[in-house]
Every structure is written in C-alpha cells, then in structure tokens.
Amino acid sequence: MNYKWWLVIAVFLFVIGLVLGLVTPTGPLSEEIAALEELAELLEPLPQWSIFMIILVKNVSAILISLAFSPFFCLVPAMALTVNGWLLGWVSAAVVEEKSLGYLLSGLLPHGIFEIPALIMGEAVALSFGTAVILALFKKEKRDLLLPNMRQNLRYMLVALALLLPAAIIETFVTPLFLRN
C-alpha cells in the first residue's frame, strides 16, 4: 500500500482519538495541575538544554519503540495515535474550560506544528512497516517487498525524527515564554 494511504489511516486514528478526547468529560483538573506543577518544580533546577534533551529523547524513543513493536499486529502505532489524539483532545478541552482558547493555542501551536505531523508521519511508517512484516511472515510472495518497504519508510521516518528537533527546541525555549502570565 502506498505511504499516502498509511498517512490517511494515521490521521484518521489520531482524529478519532482527538474527537473522543474532546467529548470526554474533563471535570476539575486541580489534581492534574498540581502534579504538573510538582513535575515543573523537579525540572526547574535543570538547565534548559537538559529539559530539551529529555523532551527530544522521549519523543524520538516513543516513535522508535512504536516502530519496533509494529509487527505485533500494528497495535502499538494504532494505540499511540489514538491515545495521543485522545490526550490532546481531553487536555485541550480542559485548558479551554479553565483558561482560554488563546492560552491553549499559545501553548500548543508553536511546537505542535512540528510535533503532531512528526508523530503522524512516524506512526504511519510504523503501520506500513508492521503490515509489511506481518504479510512477509504469512505470505512468501510478499517477502520480496519487505526491503523496498523498509527503504521507502526510512526516508519518511528520518523526516519525522528531524521534525522532532525543532519541536523540542520550541517546546523548551519558546512555548514557556508564551505561557507566562
């Protein structure tokens, strides 16, 4: 299947999760906000470059782990897309409810324009690769397609991973400037 179709499937799964997150009741977020404030206090003494590295390594490893486990019926990439979409929708609804749409957009858009496409591209690669491996395991005539699939997907994965670099830079150094009251 063409990579464009895997992108469509990845976007579909992400949007399904996003919609589910938007309609999930939020309730008061005092406990979640308190937990995030505690995390911020723990990270505060760290230099910003350390926080940058933590964000970058977490995001890169999430996509690579998804790729590694994709041959298991593509469950990990499908779950990663749906859960990340749900989480984004749920948190977005809660932030808009407690703060404002402007606050949400200032916290999300600067790095999200890189991070969300990177997630979708990386998970589309994982879906494509996982399906190719599954087909190669069960159909001998599909084994010859595995190496070309890997080569094609490597290019898209490198683009996805490259997008995570500016996303982490912006999330670390720019987004906090927009969120200060």
Determine the pLDDT at residue 33: 63
Q: How confident is the model at residue 86 (pLDDT cuts 50, 70, 90)?
A: very high
Determine the pLDDT at residue 38: 79
Determine the pLDDT at residue 28: 61
pLDDT digits (tens, 9 = 90+) for 158-175: 999 999 999 999 999 999
Of 24-28, 84-88, 122-126, give the lowest mean pLDDT range.
24-28
Of residues 118 and 143, more confidence is placed in: 118
Q: How confident is the model at residue 156 (pLDDT cuts 50, 70, 90)?
A: very high
Mean pLDDT of the chain: 91
User: For residue 181, is pLDDT > 80?
Assistant: no
Residue 111: other Cβ atoms inside 10 A: 21
pLDDT digits (tens, 9 = 90+) for 130-154: 999 999 999 988 888 889 999 999 9
C-alpha–C-alpha distance, residues 79 and 91, integer Å: 18
Residue 116 phi, psi dihedral angles, 5° rounding: -65, -45
Alpha-carbon distances of 114 from 77, 97, 140, 164, rounded to whole Å: 19, 25, 39, 7
Alpha-carbon distances of 181 from 30, 96, 99, 103, 177, rounded to whole Å: 18, 16, 11, 10, 9
pTM: 0.90
Is 95:134 a contact under the CB 8 Å cutoff? no
**Residue 49 structure tokens:** 């470059």
CA 80 to chain centroid, in Å, comes to 7
Determine the pLDDT at residue 29: 59
